Structure 1
Amino acid sequence: MYRDIVDFALTTPAWLHTLAEVGTDAGLFLFAALFMLTWWRARNAPPRDLALAIAGPAGIVCAYVSSEIVKILIREERPCRDGVATIAACPPVGDWSFPSNHSVIAVGAAATLVLIWRTLAWVVLPLAAVMAFSRVFVGVHYPHDVAAGALIGLVLAPLFTLLLVGAVTPVVRLVRARLSVPQRA
């Protein structure tokens, strides 16, 4: 399946190659902007809602670290190292393939954003799927790398976020209480 996708990708127009290469990283910036928007939206909401918006990016970082640990333990070579012609340059030796960290981050961000603000689902879930697929399309990951990364992001990012909310919510309450106390001259 990997070869079929990569061979097809090579027959597509150059603008699509550029979009596939740049789009994954651009999508991550869009997710970062959406997290800023969720924070802004929750700034006057109940403490737990603001805590979710604050803990969300940390939950994604925790999922990413988990995938890095798996990557180091498994040490699967990139498929592009077998002399396959690909759209993207093959990452350097030692940058392992399984699981796809881009997929972990994209799907983890989408799942966490849906946890925080459900109405974003129609935008972030398809975007995460396209971003994850693009890693196979450009030739730097096998499909199973992307599927595993998506699963890790889908499960761990929201889970870590929810675990962190318990610690962040009291801090939000404390900061709000301190900020609402009138200052003495």
Structure 2
Amino acid sequence: MNSSATSDLYRDITDFARTTPSWFQHLAELWTEAGLLLFGVLFIAVWWYARPAGARAVAVAVLAPLATAVAYVCSELTKSALTEERPCRAVAGAGASLIPCPPVGDWSFPSNHATIAGAAAIALALARPVLAYLTVPMALLMAFSRVFVGVHYPHDVAVGLVFGGVVATLVVLAAARPVDALVGTMRTSGSSLALLLAGPGHPARTSDHVAVTERV
């Protein structure tokens, strides 16, 4: 991967980062990891919210974290094949990163954090469309924070966001129907654990699809 195209932008962003107050730098350092935890909380909340709804709504909610995990694996495989060095070691004239530069072998392109953020944002929005107003800004801020703290090029995070969103969408599209059927089966199994996971549904809505999942 040719990193020279965004090296100057990387320097500009990291130079700006070092002019910001220390509390803001610490906030960016925190968000680069804490955002992942918040996405995890949203996965659980969306699944719980979907349980009384139709089987398709539960299926898409359950697929959201799975699709994000698949996107991460695809990103890691891509990183291992392309082996782009981290900008905190490779960009001449750049100042020190705000957090320790990852070790050699922890490659830069694409950004795993941005891929996870992009995948989670889209998967959650497919499950609960109104969440897009929250998850998309979250993903963008997480991606930017990886450049801000100095461990990724801008193109690493831009591609990661798109890559994660595309993979998550494809996984949900491919798996929604069989998981929908599985949820329906679990709801009629009589198992208390199955009912806990799949939800009780609603007698009048079990076969209904929420608006967004009708398109999945």
TM-score interval (norm. to shorter): over 0.9
Q: 2:102 aligns with which of 66, 85, 91?
A: 91
Q: Supply the distance in 2 between the matched residues of 1:79 and 1:4 (Cα, whole angstroms).
A: 13
Instruction: Tell me how far apart the structure 1 counterparts of residues 49 and 36 of structure 2 sit (CA, whole Å).
Output: 20
Distance 2:128 2:114 in 1: 21
Note closer, same or farther for the CA distance 1:95–1:180 as it changes in structure 2 (3 Å cut): closer
Which position in structure 2 is the counterpart of 1:9?
17
Question: 1:158 is matched with which residue: 144, 169, 181?
Answer: 169
Alignment deviations for residues 133-183 of structure 1 (CA, whole Å, 9 cap, x no partner): 0000000000000111011011111211221222211111111001289xx
User: In the TM superposition, what are the counterparts of 1:1-185 in structure 2 within 5 Å?
Assistant: 1-82=9-90, 84-179=95-190
- Give the residue type in structure 2 aligned to 1:38: V
CA apart distance, 1:58: 0.5
- 4+ residue segments displaced more than 2 Å: none
Moved more, 25-34 or 141-150: 25-34
Amino acid at match of 2:159: A
Q: Percent identity?
A: 52
SS of residue paired to 2:103: coil
Aligned partners of 2:29, 2:86: CA distance in 1, in Å? 16
The corresponding residue for 2:197 is: none
* Contact 2:15–2:95 (Cα < 8 Å) also in 1: no
- Code of the residue aligned with 1:85 in structure 2: it is A
Query: Matches of 1:94 and 1:68 in 2, distance apart?
Result: 12
Structure 2 residue identity aligned to 1:6: T
Retained in 1: the 8 A contact 2:86–2:108? yes
Q: Structure 1: give runs of 5+ residues left out of the alignment.
A: none
Q: Secondary structure at the match of 1:62?
A: helix
Look up the equivalent residue of 1:152 and give its one-letter code.
F
Deviations along 1:95-114, one digit per CA (max 9) or x if unpaired, are: 00000000001111011111
Q: In structure 1, the residue corresponding to 2:158 is in which secondary structure?
A: helix
Give the Cα separation in 1 of the matches to 2:156 and 2:170: 21
What is the RMSD of the two structures over their aligned residues, measured on CA atoms? 1.4
Count of residues paired in the alignment: 181
